[in-house]
Amino acid sequence: MSADENRNEQVEEELKQAAEESVSEPDEAEQAEEAAEDGKAPQDEAGALQAQVQELKDQVLRTQAEMQNVRRRAEIDVEKAHKFALEKFVKELLPVVDSLEKAVESTEGQEAEGQVVASIREGVEMTLNLLLGGMKKFKVEQLNPVGEPFDPQRHVALSMVPAPDAEPNSVVAVIQKGYTLNERLVRPAMVVVAKAEDAPKIDEQA
pLDDT along the chain (206 residues), means of 10: 63 68 53 58 79 88 89 84 84 93 83 73 91 93 94 95 90 95 94 78 45
Report the pLDDT value the prediction gives residue 29, as an integer from 0 to 100: 53
From the list 101, 96, 199, the residue with the least C-alpha distance to 150 is: 199
Report the pLDDT value the prediction gives residue 45, as an integer from 0 to 100: 82
Report the pLDDT value the prediction gives residue 47, as an integer from 0 to 100: 80
pTM listed for this prediction: 0.59
Q: What Rg do the C-alpha atoms of the chain give, in angstroms? A: 48
Reported CATH class of domain 140-206: mainly beta
The residues, any chain, with a CB within 8 Å of residue 97's CB and separated by 6 or more, are: 128, 131, 132, 135
Report the pLDDT value the prediction gives residue 13, as an integer from 0 to 100: 74
